[in-house]
Amino acid sequence: MAEIDARLREDVHLLGELLGDTIRAQLGDAFFDKIERIRKGAKAARQGSEDGQRQLNDTLDGLTEAELLPVARAFNQFLNLANIAEQYHRIRRRDPEEASPFEDRVLGELLQRLLANGHGPEQLARQLGRLDIELVLTAHPTEVARRTLIQKYDAMAAQLAAQDHDDLSTSERGRVRQRLLRLIAGAWHTEEIRRSRPSPVDEAKWGFAVIEHSLWEALPNVLRHVDETLYAATGLHLPLSAAPLRFASWMGGDRDGNPNVTAAVSRQVLLLARWMAADLYLRDVDYLAAELSMQQASDEMRVRVGVHPEPYRALLKHLRERLRATRAWAEAALECEIAPGPEVLQDNQQLLEPLELCYHSLHSCGMGVIADGALLDCIRRASAFGLFLVRLDIRQDAGRHAAAMSEITDYLGLGAYADWDEDTRLAFLQRELDCRRPLLPAHYRPSADTAEVLATCRVVAGAPAASLGSYVISMAGQPSDVLAVQLLLKEAGLQRAIHVVPLFETLADLDNAGPAIDRLLGLPGYRARLHGPQEVMVGYSDSAKDAGTTAAAWAQYRAQEALVDVCRRHQVELLLFHGRGGTVGRGGGPAHAAILSQPPGSVAGRFRTTEQGEMIRFKFGLPGIAEQNLNLYLAAVLEATLQPPPEPEPAWRAAMDRLANDGLAGYRAIVREHPQFVEYFRQATPEQELGRLPLGSRPAKRRAGGVESLRAIPWIFAWTQMRLMLPAWLGWEAALANAQQRGEGELLARMRERWPFFATRIDMLEMVLAKADLAIAELYDERLVETGLRPLGAHLRDLLSQACASVLALTGQSELLAQSPETREAISVRNTYLDPLHLLQAELLARSRRCETHAEGPLEQALLVSVAGIAAGLRNTG
């Protein structure tokens, strides 16, 4: 088994030791000794020691009611500290003889491969500068850590960096240790769990904080690296105006099933984004005004500024005043509607133009070395973030639009829109879209739900175009879903184009995506309203919940192929928007591999994807980590554009059809058809308790009902907590076993070797199976599930074992992750700290369910902390 890097082990040991000092200082040596007995017992039990298992069980059983919460907190905190050490380890200082991380090398190595394959330098520079990658930050409720703790964790990572020097003196090293101790003590004495749910505005502020504290620094660093790498490979530079990476957000715009996101909330979030952008640029411009004290300037600069001894400062001070006016207006507009004055910046060119004038003037006067410093970084930020920081997407369920249209048509005496067939709907919608008169009279008084839909459309119509991303229609299925939104926006006064994006989520809708878009693009007048690419969103979460990951993954692939073909025939550019989550069960996995596994032609210089929940922090929370992940996105999209994967062979398609059909049958036989499944799910997992956890602003359910009413996130989160990981693998065990019984083992091996789509699916499946744990899942059954339901639990664990065996047969390995020993060892080490939390959580769930009320107290708090700790230990949990 691989050893964890000694430097990482040292950092983990140091943080754990300081946590121990903190616990001892508050709760005494006797309590700390109990924590150690639990930890050592868990470690020994994992190694097969019966004595260790007995010690672990006896110590946990002997805990008093008052000790439950601090024990849960101790193991939760340690797992968070381990995450910090692991994150820093990825970006730590490297010795000169050490190889650079893959993320730092990936673009340079790719450019060399592309040059060797016949792509010219000019083509590479042009394509790299034209890349359009947009990462959409979403507030899905899996980020369990509070913002105040995240800030402390980031400060700890900074101290690990501060001590990462061999030449520190004893006193300097001691000061770092003291600062770390204070930070860890501060985290220990801070409540892990929020007292109340965050509002959508709180979530948006959390997203802005990620930009302020990480991406604001990371983005120009990435583009500087891209420029240097491109120049080294081709002798050409990235254009000054290039913005291959941009950011959007659903925080404050995603109202699908979330009654807390209203038109007023979206307006508030748009204004907060403008305030934050102006504030961040003010810091940059203040710094530049202090730095650019030069006298020499170009003729263009002199004409603009006039006679002035310090022309750059004069120009930048004027820009600074406009930024202050913009910030002041945004703050005032939050209180009441107020028109922006003439000094308020309205167009991004008003921000970029003076900065670029300074840049070109410095270069023309021989001061390019100065221009290419902080000024260039500011220009890069202005090109990427603009005046609005992030583009806000709006998302709403197709059913809400249909209900609003039904109310409107009924009011107009035309009958119920909801009862019309698709042809009738399209005829009505096209007629009204072409009509110049309003649809509704001014005195129309809609119901509350319809009023909210119309108010949201008015916010979209009134907001600057650059502040908004797309209007996404969840659970879309037909062209009328798109036209209905276009008509509602027209009625609200929108006079410009906006991407109205159907989101195909269920298996049936994915299969119908190509025909639906084909019909949409063929409608008279639709192309005239399109203005740009046809954007289509592919849903991963709900399709996997509907059909299992085997069938869903293949349906997503085929839908993308169909959409590429349809748009090619209609000569329309296609932009695919991938609604991925953090987990395998929601389409998650390494972004680089996922992009390179997309169908050929589906990534044509454009890529849009969601970044969800806790994965935002793990991928973008520290500037160095963010730089690595942004490098991966850039390289993968460039490679998928210029060197796409091969078309799957007919035999592979046929095999994948069989796998998908078998996977779908196996998945639905359990989730949809087994009469005991829903009750087992609710007893064996903390699903109902998760509803009490104040994570996100959105309710855990769309409506009352069984599994079908659950959102994809709590559905997966619940199974992860008890380590069965069912949504990520159920169906694969039947699909792979049947294929092997048909004698298709060699065919599957060839598919894995030569088809990135299939290889990536198997790699992700293997990773999640390595995180599953039969013994832990059985423990929850024994403690929580009534006797009559336990045979179902045993059957599910048998299916999990079959899935593991099938993957091992396919990969030819003796154990899961044999080719990734470091990942396997990292999971093993974390289990020492996760096991006590699982045992504790099962006991706490049993006690909680015996209580008729769920008043906030030590037991309830300990239960919620155990949820947070397990999520931290497993990371991509929802």
- What residues are annotated to the active site? 140, 545
Let me know: does 545 contact 583? Beta carbons within 8 Å: no
Triad 729, 731, 737: Cα angle to 5°: 105
Of the candidates 128, 105, 109, the residue with the CA atom closest to the CA atom of residue 117: 109
Report the distance separating Cα 210 and Cα 390, nearest Å. Answer: 12
Residue 763 contacts residue 593 (beta carbons within 8 Å): yes
Neighbour-count burial of 325, counting CB atoms closer than 10 A to its CB (0-12 exposed, 13-18 middle, 19+ buried) = middle
Whole-angstrom distance, CA of residue 240 vs CA of residue 588: 33
- Residue 445's Cβ-count burial label (10 Å; 0-12, 13-18, 19+) is exposed
In whole angstroms, what is the distance from residue 530 CA to residue 572 CA? 10
Q: How far apart are CA 369 and CA 243, in angstroms?
A: 22
Element (H, E) at 393: strand 391-397
DSSP string of 457-525?
A: HHHHHHS-GGGEEEEEEET--SHHHHHHHHHHHHHTT--S--EEEEEE-SHHHHHTHHHHHHHHHTSTT
Instruction: Please choose, from the candidates 548, 551, 870, 471, the residue with its C-alpha nearest in 3D space to the C-alpha of residue 712.
Output: 548
Residue 375 and residue 220 in contact, taking contact as beta carbons nearer than 8 Å: no
Inter-residue contact 586 to 138 (CB < 8 Å): no
The region, left, alpha or beta by phi > 0 then psi within -120 to 50, assigned to residue 521 is alpha
| C-beta separation of 35 from 832 below 8 A | no
d(CA 417, CA 410): 8
Instruction: List helix spans (H) across 336-364.
Output: 348-364
CA dihedral 49, 54, 59, 61 (to 10 degrees): 140
Classify residue 203 as left (phi > 0), alpha (psi -120 to 50) or beta: alpha
Spatial contact of 680 and 792, defined as CB atoms under 8 Å apart: yes
Taking CA atoms, 508 is separated from 476, 551, 588, in Å, by 11, 11, 21
Interatomic CA distance for residues 175 and 187, integer angstroms:
18
Instruction: Report the distance separating Cα 694 and Cα 697, nearest Å.
Output: 8
Asked if 844 and 549 count as a contact pair (C-beta separation under 8 A), the reply is no
Burial profile 709-738: b = 16 or more Cβ within 10 angstroms, e = fewer: ebbbbbbbbbbbbbbbbbbbbbbbbbbbbb
